[in-house]
Copies of this chain bind each other. A is one copy, B any other.
Amino acid sequence: FLTNAQGEDVVAGVRTPMPIAEMAEKFPEAFKQFQQVCATLENHYRDMQDMEFTVEHNKLYMLQTRNGKRTAAAAIKIACDLIDEGLITEQEALMQIDAKSLDMLLHPTFETKALADADKNNVVGKGIAASPGAAAGTVVFTPEDAVKEGKAGKKVILVRLETSPEDIEGMKYSQGILTVRGGQTSHAAVVARGMGTCCVSGCGDIKMDEANKKFELGGKVFHEGDAISLDGSTGKIYDIAIKTVPADPNSGYFGRIMKLADKYKAIEVRTNADTPADAQRAFELGAQGIGLTRTEHMFFGPGRIDKFREMICSETVEERKAALANIEPMQQADFEGLMEALKGQPVIIRFLDPPLHEFVPTDEKDIQLLAKAKGKSVEYIKQLCNSLHEFNPMMGHRGCRLAVTYPEIAEMQTKAVIKAALNVQKRHPDWHVVPEIMIPLVGEVKELAYVKKTVVATADAVIAEAGVELKYMVGTMIEIPRAALTADEIAKEAEFFSFGTNDLTQMTFGFSRDDASKFLPSYYAAKIYESDPFARLDQVGVGKLMKMAVTLGRETRPELQCGICGEHGGDPSSIEFAHNIGLNYVSCSPYRVPIARLAAAQANIKNPRK
C-alpha cells in the first residue's frame, strides 16, 4: 500500500508500495477492521480475494473485490489448501484453477548446483519477486530488440525503467523482465504473471541509462548483450546465465492436482510427437498415448532428405521403390523409439501428408547433388521441381492423394510401422502393442478403401513373414468437410477418426492460416470474429461438422474411436467441446498435456459423461 497516493500510483508502478504488514503499525484501527472484512469476503467467495481499499481520516473504505489473480503455482497451492481445510471439494478445487495457467509451471528452474554457486559469487542485486520462474539470457533494453533477438532464437532479458502496454510484444519474446520501478501490482508484474514469464520488479538500486543502453547494478555496468539471470521467486539478480532444468510435473502440489484431474476426467489425453524425445517428455507429462506422429518431419533428417528427393525425382515405380527402401529402416527405427517411449500405449502414425514440393531443394548446391545422384542435368531437376509448384498447395496433391498416385510410399511406411511394432512387442512381451495407421486428407470412402488395400496387403504380408500375431488398426483423419459429411460411409473402412481441426477449420471457413493474417485483424476490429478460429475451435461451424461426423460414424461403427489431433487439442474450451460431443481423446503438444488433463477433468465435472 501507499500513503498519500491514488490507486493508479500503485498499478502504474511509478512508486514502490509498502508491504501490507506495515499498515498494522501505521493505521492499527483501520487494519483490524480490514482483517475482519478480508475474512468475511474470502469465506463468502471461497477463493482468495484481490481487494482495493482506501483509508481516509482513519476510516476504511472497501473499493472493490474480485477473485485474486495468482500464479499457477499459487493457484494449485491455494486449491490444495482449501481442500485440506475442508472448505471446498476436490471438484471445486479443480474448477478453481485456470487450466491455461498451468503452462507457467512447466517453465524451467535453475539447476540446484549452478544456482548454489551463483548465489555465492554472482548476486548483483535484488528486486521484488513479481512473477516466478527462472530466466537466463542476455540484456536488451527495448521491446523491439527483444522481438528481434527473440525471433532469432536468442534468450533475452528485457530491462526497463518500467513497462507499458506497448511493450507487450517484446515481453512475449523475453525469458524474463527486470524493472527499476513498480511492485507486485505494476504493469510488468501483472502481465508477466499472465504470460508465465519470470519478472523481478522494483529494483531501485539500478542506475538506468536507457539512452546509452546500459545500467549499473552492484558496482557493475551491464551493456546490451551481457549475460544476466533473474530468479522470479526470490527477486535475486545474477551477472551470469545460470543453467536451467525443465520443471517436474509429478511431485508436490502440481503432481497432486494432476492426479486429481486424472481421477475426474473422462477422455484420454494423448500427445502429438514426432521424435522419441518429445514422446518421452509427453509421457512424463502424463500423455496416455500418441495421437499424431507427423512422419514427414522424419524425412528432413540428414541422410534422409537426399533419398526422399531422389524418390520424388524418380521416373519409374522401381526407382521410387529403391529410394524409399533406403528410408525404410530409418523410419522403422524412429517408430520403435516412439513406441518404446510410450511403453505400449497407443501410437497413431499418420502417413505422409504435405505436398512433395515442400521437400525439393532450393539451394543450388543441393540441386547439383540431386542431379548427380539421379544422373540427370541440373536443368532437368530444376524443371521437375518447378513442375511440382501448385496454385493452392493447401488444396493440392497431398495427404492420401500421394498414396493414391504413389502407393509405394504407403507400402514403405506400412512396412516400417509393422516391423517396428513387431520388434517392440518382441522386446516387451508384457506390452500390448497395437499400432494405428492413420490415412490423412480422406474425402471419400473409396479413396480410403483404395489406400487401405495397399496397407493391409503389405502389413499382412510382413506379419505372416514374421510368423507371429499382431493386431493393427487403420483409421483416418477427418479434416476435409466431405469426410465429415459422409462419415457414415467412411466409417465402413476407418477403425478410428481423428479430427484434424487445423485443416478442417481452413476448409470450413475457406481461408488459409498462412494468408488469413492479412484480413483477420479487420475482422476482429469489426467484431465479426472474437477469437482466432485456429486457436479456439469454432463450435458453431466446424463443431457442427465434427458432431455430425461422430454421430454418423458411430451409426456405422458403434465402437468407433474419435479424437482431435489438431492444435485445438490443447485449448481448454475446445477440449470441453470434445468432451461434450463424446470424443474418446484429445491429442496435443507435450507441454500442453497437463493443461489438457485439467481441462478434461473440468469438462467432466461440468457435464459428467454417462
A53 located at the interface, meaning its Cβ lies under 8 Å from any Cβ of chain B in the complex: no
A426 located at the interface, meaning its Cβ lies under 8 Å from any Cβ of chain B in the complex: no
In the assembled complex, the CB of A518 is this many whole angstroms from the nearest CB of chain B, namely 5
Chain B residues with Cβ below 8 Å from A544 are: 485-486
**B390–A519 CB distance below 8 A:** no
**A404–B444 CB distance below 8 A:** no
A523 located at the interface, meaning its Cβ lies under 8 Å from any Cβ of chain B in the complex: yes
Closest to A543 in B: B485
Roughly how many angstroms separate A405 CA and B511 CA in the complex, as a whole number?
15
Roughly how many angstroms separate A486 CA and B540 CA in the complex, as a whole number?
7
At the interface with chain B, which of A16-24, A169-177, A270-278, A524-532?
A: A524-532
Contacting residue for A515 out of B392, B450, B480, CB 8 A: B392
Chain B residues with Cβ below 8 Å from A67 are: none
Chain B residues with Cβ below 8 Å from A529 are: 444, 446
Contacting residue for A391 out of B393, B482, B522, B528, CB 8 A: B393
**B515–A396 CB distance below 8 A:** yes
Q: Contacts A447-B523, A523-B447: A518 and B481 contacting too (C-beta < 8 A)?
A: no
**A441–B526 CB distance below 8 A:** no
Chain B residues with Cβ below 8 Å from A444 are: 528-529, 541
A495 located at the interface, meaning its Cβ lies under 8 Å from any Cβ of chain B in the complex: no
Closest to A517 in B: B397
Which chain A residues (486-534) contact chain B, with CB distance < 8 Å?
486, 489, 503, 506-512, 514-515, 518-519, 522-523, 526-529
Contacting residue for A523 out of B404, B482, B540, CB 8 A: B404
In the assembled complex, the CB of A345 is this many whole angstroms from the nearest CB of chain B, namely 31
A401 located at the interface, meaning its Cβ lies under 8 Å from any Cβ of chain B in the complex: yes
Roughly how many angstroms separate A394 CA and B506 CA in the complex, as a whole number?
11
**A510–B512 CB distance below 8 A:** no
Q: Which residue among A390, A405, A510 has the maximum number of chain B CB atoms within 10 Å of its CB?
A: A510
Closest to A392 in B: B512
A542 located at the interface, meaning its Cβ lies under 8 Å from any Cβ of chain B in the complex: yes
**B540–A510 CB distance below 8 A:** no
**B545–A485 CB distance below 8 A:** yes
Roughly how many angstroms separate A529 CA and B450 CA in the complex, as a whole number?
11
Chain B residues with Cβ below 8 Å from A447 are: 523, 528
Q: Contacts A405-B522, A508-B481: A391 and B394 contacting too (C-beta < 8 A)?
A: yes
In the assembled complex, the CB of A492 is this many whole angstroms from the nearest CB of chain B, namely 14
Closest to A511 in B: B395
Q: Which residue among A396, A405, A447, A481 has the maximum number of chain B CB atoms within 10 Å of its CB?
A: A481
Chain B residues with Cβ below 8 Å from A540 are: 485-486, 489
Query: What 1/0 mask marks residues of chain A from 389 to 419 whose CB sits below 8 Å from any chain B CB?
Result: 0111111110001001100000000000000
Roughly how many angstroms separate A511 CA and B511 CA in the complex, as a whole number?
13
A127 located at the interface, meaning its Cβ lies under 8 Å from any Cβ of chain B in the complex: no
Roughly how many angstroms separate A156 CA and B485 CA in the complex, as a whole number?
46
**B392–A393 CB distance below 8 A:** yes
Closest to A388 in B: B518
Chain B residues with Cβ below 8 Å from A479 are: 510
Contacting residue for A397 out of B392, B396, B519, CB 8 A: B519
Query: What 1/0 mask marks residues of chain A from 451 to 469 whose CB sits below 8 Å from any chain B CB?
Result: 0000000000000000000
A443 located at the interface, meaning its Cβ lies under 8 Å from any Cβ of chain B in the complex: yes
Chain B residues with Cβ below 8 Å from A542 are: 482
Closest to A510 in B: B480
Q: Contacts A446-B527, A519-B404: A512 and B391 contacting too (C-beta < 8 A)?
A: yes
Roughly how many angstroms separate A508 CA and B503 CA in the complex, as a whole number?
12
Chain B residues with Cβ below 8 Å from A395 are: 392, 394-395, 506, 510-512, 515
- A→B interface (CB under 8 Å): 390-397, 401, 404-405, 441, 443-444, 446-447, 450, 479-482, 485-486, 489, 503, 506-512, 514-515, 518-519, 522-523, 526-529, 538, 540-542, 544-545
Known: A401-B511, A479-B510. 8 other contacts (CB 8 A): A390-B514, A395-B510, A401-B519, A405-B522, A443-B541, A444-B541, A450-B528, A486-B544
Shortest 7 CB-CB contacts between residues of A and residues of B: A482-B541, A392-B512, A480-B510, A395-B512, A396-B515, A391-B514, A392-B394
